[in-house]
Structure 1
C-alpha cells in the first residue's frame, strides 16, 4: 500500500507553502504524497538518539562544518537553478546532515544533503525503499541509510560514479561509522536502549 496522493495535479513549492498546516505532504516530481500520521514512539526514540549521537560527533569540528537536522525540515531539490517557487520536489527526511552551509537558508536546505537517514515504518517502508531511494540517488545524496527497527538491520547506499552502488546491510549491533563522515559512529546498543 502506497502513501495517499493529494491529487493528480503537478505541484510546486509555491503550492506546498500555501496548503493548510493540518496535513503534511512531500513533493516528488510534482506529485504530492500525504505524509503518514505521527510516527510511533519507537521511531521517535530511535530518531532522537541517532540525531543526538550525530550532533555530538559533529560538534566543534570547524574543519568540517556539517550540521544535522531532523524532520520536519524541508529539503528542496531543484532540477537546475529554478526559483524556489518553481521547485517540484520537497521532502522531509527523518535525519539529514548538510556539510555545505551555502545550501542552508531560513526554509531548510536547497540541494542534496550529504547524508540522509530514513527510519522505516510499516506505512512508509515501500515509499522510502523505492521512491525516495531513486530520488536520493538521482539528486546526488552521498550516503543514504534505511534503518529497519523491526528487523534490526540498516541498509546503506553510497553514491558511486553517478548512482548508488549495491547496498551494504548491517545488523543493528555494536557500532557503525558513517562512510562519508567517519567521525560519526552510531552506537546501536545506545540507540536501541529505549526501543522495545
Structure 2
C-alpha cells in the first residue's frame, strides 16, 4: 500500500468522485491511499472470488447481500452529507444485511461482515489501519485471509471492540459467526493456489 499522498491535503468523498477512474484510492480519515498497483495477483482473486461465490449462493433468498470489490463503502462519522465523508474503503468481499445502507453509489455505513485477502503490498494496511477503521465503524466480523501462509484471522466485535483474534489454517470449513448456516469451504480453492516461489 502506498503512503498517504505527499501533499498532506485532506480529502472527502466529494473530491474522490472527481478523481480519474483508472486509479483506485481509498480514503481513511481524509488521507488518500493508492490501492495496490498493478492489480491483485491470481491467489488474491481466486480466494476473493470463491468466498464471494460461496456466500452469494448461501444467501440466495435471504435478506443479506454479498458484494465483491470494487464497490465503495462510505463510512460517515455522524450524519454528514456524502460529499463530506472522509472514509471510503473497498473491501474485497462484504455482506450487508440492512437494505437501507445500499444505494446506487454502493454502501453507506458499516457492512456486517468484511473479508480482506492480504497481498504483500497491502498486508500492513489491512491488518492495522483498516482493522481500526472497521472496528470503529462497527463491522461485526472482519476476516483477514493470508494466501501465502494459508492462515485465516477472524475478529469479532464485542462491546464495540475487536477482542483477541481467532486464527486457523485454511482447511476444511470455517463458519461465519454472524451469519448462521454459512460456512466457507477452503480445500478446493487452497488446492488451486500456486506455491510461493520465494
TM (normalized to structure 1)?
0.95
Tell me the CA shift for residue 193 of structure 1. 3.3
- Aligned to 1:151, the other structure's residue is in SS state coil
Q: State which of 114, 117, 121 in structure 1 corresponds to 2:115.
A: 117
Gaps spanning 5+ residues in structure 1: where? none
Query: 2:47: which partner in 1?
Result: 46
Deviations, residues 23-73 of structure 1 (Å, cap 9, x unaligned):
110000000001111100111111111100010111112xxx110101100
Is the contact made by 1:114 and 1:142 (CA closer than 8 Å) also made in structure 2? yes
Higher relative contact order (CA 8 A, sep 6+): 1
Tell me the CA shift for residue 17 of structure 1. 0.2
- Aligned to 1:182, the other structure's residue is in SS state coil
Q: How many corresponding residue pairs?
A: 192
TM (normalized to structure 2)?
0.95
Tell me the CA shift for residue 194 of structure 1. 2.2
- Aligned to 2:192, the other structure's residue is in SS state coil
Is the contact made by 1:58 and 1:183 (CA closer than 8 Å) also made in structure 2? no
Q: State which of 81, 84, 98 in structure 1 corresponds to 2:82.
A: 84
Gaps spanning 5+ residues in structure 2: where? none
The residue correspondences of 1:1-196 to structure 2 (distance < 5 A) are 2-6=1-5, 7-37=7-37, 38-61=39-62, 65-196=63-194
| Alpha-carbon distance in structure 2 between the residues aligned to 1:109 and 1:183 | 24
Q: CA RMSD in A?
A: 0.9
Tell me the CA shift for residue 5 of structure 1. 2.4
Deviations, residues 77-106 of structure 1 (Å, cap 9, x unaligned):
000100000000000010010000100000
